Structure 1
Amino acid sequence: MDKNVIRKRLLEHRSLMSGPEVDRASGEIVGSVLELDQWRKAQEVLLYWPIRNEVDVRPLLREAWDSGKKLFMPCCRRNEPGIMDFGVVRAEKDMVGGSFGIMEPCRSRCEFPDAVNPDLIIVPGVGFDRTGYRIGFGGGYYDRFLARPQKDGFLAVGVCYSFQIVDGFPHEPWDRPVGLICTDRELIWQN
């Protein structure tokens, strides 16, 4: 099935979720992430700010700050589609409205290091297959990041609702799978 058809269907389904449904499912997913050894051991993590009923990982931001982890958040470059920079965010007040209506690190308040190599990255997706490949919004932002050399032990965790696990979509040569998919019902590890 065509990625654009799948993307449209999944986004429609996600848009119909109620606030309590998002809160319940997101809570299950966040709870599973917090139980991962990789989360507990991570010193540097990369998270995202949720939009349009994405899995609400904001409790992980607070947990990262409370446990002393270095927290990176993405910031889309203006006039450079598909390219993200990553700012070190120390508090929610360091976030401002940015591209696509997404909260992102304030360029004047946050450090933007040249090299960003987190131990763990939480990756949003419109859909995932059971082999770790994802469908995003189509800009290739996360694929570009995941294609870069990463540190040993690095783990990319895709987070989504159980209905967002789909089979049978095409993979492009530049697509990069995640190592783990965490839904509100299961963990799907890649070997």
Structure 2
Amino acid sequence: MDKSEIRNIVIAKRKELSKVAKDNFDNIISRKFLNSEIYKQCKTIFIYISMNEEIDTKTIILKALEEGKRVCVPKIDIKNRVMKAVEIKNLSQMVETPPFGILEPPTFDLKLDIDEIELIVVPGLAFDKNGGRVGYGGGYYDKFLFQPHKSKKIVLAYDFQVFESVPVEKHDVRVDYVITEKQAINCKE
């Protein structure tokens, strides 16, 4: 299967999830993540603000802020076609930004360098146990993650998003860990 076929399959499966099942899976995945050593040990986290059928990350963001962690989220620089990490203090000031309609900080004022971040929560549609990832196709995360850094990269996914293998190109950056409602995978083992 190619990336577009995999994307279509996963998008369809996510849309089929009932609200009850989604909420249940999201709670399990969030709890596993928040109880993980990788999360507990980090002081600065980069995490996307979930939308549509993605696993809810807003609960995780609020908990991390409550625990005093530095939290930064993506903000797209459309002109230069790159993504920056911007620190936030709350979710209430986020604005919906075209062209993707995602919630972002209103400015780049609190921008962090990637080497200041210890843990990056990476979105995507499909993953494998070797850290392969099929994203949404924009390339923003691959460009961002390609910068030199020591951050651990983790994915929160539904179990049906984990495939035996996914197509990976040389510019695709692999993730280190995958957490689903059924398993926690260390992709480095």
Query: TM-score, normalising length from structure 1?
Result: 0.92
Mind listing any 5+ residue stretches in structure 1 that lack a counterpart?
Answer: none
Please report the RMSD computed on the Cα atoms of aligned residues, expressed in angstroms. Answer: 1.5
Q: What is the CA distance between 1:52 and its match in structure 2? A: 2.0
Counterpart of 1:139 in structure 2 is 138
SS in 1 for 2:45: strand
Tell me if structure 1 keeps the 8 A contact 2:73–2:86. yes
Tell me if structure 1 keeps the 8 A contact 2:129–2:165. no
In structure 2, how many angstroms separate the alpha carbons of the residues matched to 1:146 and 1:28? 27
Q: What is the CA distance between 1:114 and its match in structure 2? A: 4.8
| 1:17 matches 2:17 | yes
Q: What is the CA distance between 1:168 and its match in structure 2? A: 3.5
SS in 1 for 2:111: coil
| 1:189 matches 2:186 | yes
In structure 2, how many angstroms separate the alpha carbons of the residues matched to 1:186 and 1:168? 16
In structure 1, how many angstroms separate the alpha carbons of the residues matched to 2:148 and 2:179? 23
Q: What is the CA distance between 1:18 and its match in structure 2? A: 2.1
Counterpart of 1:128 in structure 2 is 127
Q: What is the CA distance between 1:115 and its match in structure 2? A: 5.2
Mind listing any 5+ residue stretches in structure 2 that lack a counterpart?
Answer: none
SS in 2 for 1:22: helix
With over 3 angstroms needed to count, the CA separation of the structure-2 counterparts of 1:125 and 1:189, relative to structure 1, is same
In structure 2, how many angstroms separate the alpha carbons of the residues matched to 1:159 and 1:114? 23
Q: What is the CA distance between 1:48 and its match in structure 2? A: 0.8
Counting matched residue pairs gives: 187
Q: For 1:44, give the aligned amino acid.
A: T
Tell me if structure 2 keeps the 8 A contact 1:45–1:72. yes
| 1:98 matches 2:97 | yes
| 1:33 matches 2:30 | no
Deviation sequence 1:37-75 (CA, Å, 0-9, x none): 121111100011111210111111111111111110001
SS in 2 for 1:75: strand
Tell me if structure 2 keeps the 8 A contact 1:131–1:190. yes
Identity %: 29
Query: TM-score, normalising length from structure 2?
Result: 0.93
SS in 2 for 1:124: coil
